[in-house]
Amino acid sequence: MTLVPRLTALDVLRTTFGYDEFRGDQAEIIDQVSGGGDALVLMPTGGGKSLCYQIPALLRPGVAVVISPLIALMHDQVTALEALGVRAGFINSSQGIDERRATEASAVAGELDLLYLAPERLGMEATGEFLDRLQLALFAIDEAHCVSQWGHDFRPDYLRLSMLGERWPDVPRIALTATATPAVRAEITERLGLDAAKVFVSSFDRPNIRYRIESKQQPVKQLVELIRTEHDGDAGIVYCLSRASVEKTAEALCKAGIDAMPYHAGLPSAVRSKHQNRFLREDGVVMVATIAFGMGIDKPDVRFVAHLDLPKSIEGYYQETGRAGRDGLPATAWMAYGLADVVQQRQFIAGSDGDEQHKRLQGRHLDSMLGLCETLRCRRQVILDYFGEPSGPCGNCDTCLNPPQSWDGTVASQKLLSTIVRLRRERGQSFGAVHLIDILRGKRTEKIEQWGHDELSTFGIGDELTEMQWRAVIRQLLAGVYLSVSDRHSTLELTDASWGAMRGEQQLWMREQPIMEAPRSKRSRSEAGEKRSRSAAAASLSDADRELFERLRAWRAETARAASVPAYVVFPDATLVGIADSRPGTLEELAEVSGVGKAKLERYGDRVLEIVALDVATDR
């Protein structure tokens, strides 16, 4: 039996958050937690996880304590709630003692509905004594996968969160994550002591995201082409593996006229903070970053996430690409992937400090990621299969829209593997991909003539394939574990599976590698510039409605700057699209637009109606 009827929860949803109805399992989860029960919630990014604890926090007496891993984002999370009229605060190491004491006093006095807390603070006895003084409504553990030592984002501070149930056994707990395989899910349950919790597993599908993976040829140029032709003027995140690559890519984007900034651990904290604030608070900014950036980012209007280096696992990839399109509008997950990525990741695993069990686990994660890159199937299907969710082809990823061709690579593989065998047996030598391809294609380089490799029986037997096609063969053999990479010198070595392939015991079908992938658009730079006033978020609108959307977006930017808040705190893109499409003429009609709650209607309603009315008058 719940403490409050669902109608009350629905009323809070409508009046405070401005949404008409719950999505998926939200209503059942809110009932569970509002009624005092524990819950483990697996829901994709953008699926509405935060409402699952925010609404119970407003329904139950006392203050809800939210454990959040990134202190840098707590301020914006609290600001967003305050804009909705919700009483919220945070306590973390970024505050001075007076500010922290003021927040604690507000919580003790019952003046807060939600209190955000960094996990490391739970290691302090003073924090436990402070929480003992509160009337606790619930504990929410965000990014719960961080508790898993075999997950992709382990945080040691999360291991002590089991003490919440031990010290305050009568306070309901809700653990939430967007990425967890069945094994990680079981570990979350065990480590947090949530054996009695009701488990809610939503679909991992993000149908608004289009997944695309391209052969890496000139990755920065490919990225610039993507942004200019499809996402000019849109907010986006570009992930690179190294700090140097982040800096180089951000500089290249700026030279191409794209508003881009770097973000990595090597930058001074003040610079990182400045860049993050610009990304969160302004429209159309591209953040080039290592994977240290992004967890907990609430910016709903990120229209694309690009990877210039191969992620280590599908979990990490899903988590990172999930930062696109949180508002439900169309978004792109794009990656450039090549042979060097596979070699580099294999080397990282071989040279890591972990024990053999850990290396095997990393290897399995990478194998799954490589399988996604090389698949001939629907990419969304492969991702959902990984999380144990069967599905059919999506019709929206690159392999569905432009089905790749396959070819029988058995003979080509035998030629390559035989070359490696001959070098090892006859010469006691091993080499990397470039030299092996030169041998197969019959190139008389200085190195080949120096070593006498033009005398090998395999010299020149592979000139029917281009260098790029041979690189694709090697990449796919590495992905299929028919080849391995030496730890020290990046040379290619045989595996147990190589011998069966050489004997022809199985047919090796491969994804066809085009010599050069044509650009998707022949648009001129001026046409691309014109698209800056045509955000992808408004793609479904007519030309006239899109112009109104842009005027609303300009007003939002000015309003956000004046209030020193992120633009989405005023209204997310999805709400502006709804306003531009419906063109409300009264406050009552504006209140019907999704995302317009009572507090925002009172604060911004009259000005929004003025902009709409002016646009209508102009059209006439």
Mean pLDDT per 10-residue interval, the chain, length 620 residues: 59 90 92 95 86 96 90 82 93 86 94 93 89 95 79 71 91 89 85 92 91 93 95 94 94 96 92 89 91 74 95 90 90 93 84 79 87 92 90 93 90 93 87 92 91 91 92 88 77 89 88 54 39 61 89 92 88 92 93 92 93 70
In the CATH scheme, what is the code of domain 6-201? 3.40.50.300
**β-bridge pairing 406-408 and 509-511:** antiparallel
Which run of H or E residues covers position 612?
helix 598-619
Do 371 and 337 form a contact (C-beta atoms < 8 A)?
A: no
Grouping H, G, I as helix, E, B as strand and the rest as coil, residue 136 is: strand
Q: Which of 308, 300, 209 is nearest to 250 (CA)?
A: 308
Do 9 and 31 form a contact (C-beta atoms < 8 A)?
A: yes
- pTM given for the model: 0.80
Grouping H, G, I as helix, E, B as strand and the rest as coil, residue 331 is: strand
Spatial neighbors of 469 by CB under 8 A, at least 6 apart, are 513, 515
- Given this model, what pLDDT does residue 76 score? 82
User: What is the distance, to the nearest Å, from the Cα of residue 505 to the centroid of all Cα atoms in its chain?
Assistant: 40
Fold for 406-511, please state it: Arc Repressor Mutant, subunit A (1.10.10)
**β-bridge pairing 492-494 and 88-91:** unpaired
Q: Residues 9-12: contacts with CB within 8 Å, 24+ apart?
A: 9/34, 9/55, 9/59, 12/55, 12/58, 12/59
Q: Which two tokens stand for residue 45?
A: 């990014």
Arch. (CATH architecture) of 540-619: Orthogonal Bundle (1.10)
- Given this model, what pLDDT does residue 464 score? 92
Strands in 54-113 per DSSP E: 63-67, 88-91
- Given this model, what pLDDT does residue 13 score? 92
Distance CA 205, CA 394 (A): 10
User: What is the distance, to the nearest Å, from the Cα of residue 497 to the centroid of all Cα atoms in its chain?
Assistant: 34
Q: In this structure, which amino acid lies at residue 90?
A: F
DSSP string, 505-543: SS--EEE---SSPPPS----HHHHHHGGGS-GGGTTS-H
Spatial neighbors of 154 by CB under 8 A, at least 6 apart, are 146, 147, 148
Where exactly does CATH 3.40.50.300 map onto the chain? Answer: 6-201, 209-401
Cβ neighbourhood burial of 239 (10 Å; 0-12, 13-18, 19+)? buried
Cβ neighbourhood burial of 63 (10 Å; 0-12, 13-18, 19+)? buried
Q: Which of 455, 424, 454 is nearest to 438 (CA)?
A: 454
CB crowding 276-299: b at 16 or more within 10 Å, else e: beebbbebbbbbbbbbebbbbbbb
Would you give the DSSP letter of residue 283? S
Would you give the DSSP letter of residue 193? T
Strands in 178-276 per DSSP E: 198-201, 209-215, 235-239, 260-263
- Given this model, what pLDDT does residue 617 score? 55
The residues pairing with 236 across neighbouring beta strands, listed in sequence order, are: 286, 304
CB crowding 458-493: b at 16 or more within 10 Å, else e: bbebbeebeebbbbbbbbbbbbbebbbbeeeebbbe
Do 409 and 510 form a contact (C-beta atoms < 8 A)?
A: yes
Which run of H or E residues covers position 51?
helix 51-59
Torsions phi, psi for 219 (to 5 deg): -55, -40
Q: Which two tokens stand for residue 185?
A: 């899910």
Distance CA 200, CA 183 (A): 15
In the CATH scheme, what is the code of domain 209-401? 3.40.50.300
Cα dist. 431→418, 487, 593 in Å? 13, 13, 63
Do 66 and 176 form a contact (C-beta atoms < 8 A)?
A: no
Would you give the DSSP letter of residue 426? I
- Given this model, what pLDDT does residue 517 score? 43
| Length of the chain measured in residues | 620
Where exactly does CATH 1.10.150.80 map onto the chain? Answer: 540-619
- Given this model, what pLDDT does residue 514 score? 54
